[in-house]
Amino acid sequence: MKEKRNPAWAGYDYGLLIPAMCLLFLGLLMVYSASSPLADHRMGDSYYYLKKQALFSLLGIGLMLSATRIPCTFYFRIAYPLLGLSMLLLIMLFIPGIGAKIGGAHRWIRVGWLTLQPSELAKFSLVVYMAYSMAKKGNQMASFSQGLLPHLLVAGGFMGLIVLQPDLGTAVIIACWLLVLLFVGGVKITHLLVIFLALAPGVIWMILRADYRLKRWLAFINPWEDPKGIGFQIINSFLAFGAGGPFGVGLGNGKQKLFYLPEPHTDFVFAIAAEELGLVGAAAIIVLFGILIARGIKVALNARDLYSTYLAFGLTSLIGLQVVVNLCVVTGLLPTKGLTLPFISYGGSSLVMNLLCVGVLLNISARK
């Protein structure tokens, strides 16, 4: 008698799942390697950041598995409540006693010993809303009043609250992602150019009025002018890449994490990976991200309806844009923005939401 095939995971895109799991595993390794000296110094426990990241990994995997079973049509039914919840959480950041102020920024809500970042949920909420709204409007997307203005107002409200945290980097990422998604949705390119030109002076003004943002730009232009000041972080990132060579110095043997590269387990974890795993390891990480993004785009192209296509493309492009920006920052191709590398950097909220995105993509892939 022929054995029946178990349909539990039939139809899911393993070309999407496997790279995501490989990146998650590499991320746990790099978080421990990059953070152990810092965790031992600060907390007296070299496993401190690893344990928190592992906990969030389990939570994220649970959400991912749940999302594979939830029809993606469920999300557009809760699009507006999800937007409202995200907006409420962003507002709560500024309420004393609720929002945690770390490094001068109100970006986290503290729940016991955990800190949650509402902007990560806000990004997911915007993807769900945009996919639902763009699919519903259809050919009306070419109209300024129907296709561009409503989406710009909704996203603009979220970006405004994120800028007030302050977190200009995340707001800029959302703005760039929004322009890409609107272009794919059918908004006229002339309308998008007008919006871009209108927003550019505001961004420049916010950079010039904040001393730390201006210093980041000066460090980007010429970090060697002040190697012990504004250029210290990016120069140490360069040194990490240079020390790695073809095959790296060995996992755990990196030197830049020894209090040279600030916060090596977050924004600049890829530099530590390049130092310890070398060009081969860094290239492997980039290839895994490339496969993940390519499979995500394929899922979008093969989706069974327009809403699913926009949802899959929105999730994939958001992850891909963050990857590109982070890699450009650590290699000195963009100014420092404080943006984590998906699946690799330390950060629970980001990791959980990225795994949720993978679960939604897997569900869409099974409904071709």
pLDDT at 113: 65
**Which of 273, 212, 215 shows the shortest CA–CA distance to 241?**
273
Which residue type does 297 have?
A: I
Phi (first) and psi of residue 332, to 5 degrees = 80, 15
pLDDT at 119: 87
User: Quick check: 49 and 342 in contact, CB under 8 A?
Assistant: no
The structure tokens listed for 59 are: 């939570």
Q: What is the DSSP string of 333-357?
A: SS-----PPTTTSS-HHHHHHHHHH
For residue 300, CA distances in Å to 28, 198, 280, 316, 368 come to 29, 31, 30, 9, 9
Q: Would residue 248 be called left, alpha or beta, if left means φ above 0 and alpha means ψ between -120 and 50 degrees?
A: left
In angstroms, the CA 235 to CA 32 distance is 23
pLDDT at 2: 43
The mean pLDDT of the chain is: 85
pLDDT-derived band of residue 226, with 50, 70 and 90 as boundaries? confident
**Which of 30, 27, 11 shows the shortest CA–CA distance to 288?**
27
In angstroms, the CA 298 to CA 301 distance is 5
* Percentage above 90 pLDDT, the chain: 36
Residue 249's CB is within 10 A of a number of other CB atoms, namely 16
pTM for the predicted model, two decimal places: 0.89
What is the pLDDT averaged over residues 97-119? 72
For residue 98, pLDDT beyond 80: no
In angstroms, the CA 174 to CA 180 distance is 10
For the chain, what are the domain ranges?
Answer: 23-365
169-192 per-position pLDDT tens digit = 888 889 889 989 999 888 888 888
In angstroms, the CA 272 to CA 239 distance is 10
User: Quick check: 96 and 154 in contact, CB under 8 A?
Assistant: no
pLDDT at 196: 82
pLDDT at 307: 92
In angstroms, the CA 168 to CA 87 distance is 17
Rg of the chain on CA atoms, in Å: 21
Of residues 158 and 220, more confidence is placed in 158
Output the CA angle 126-132-137, nearest 5 degrees.
120
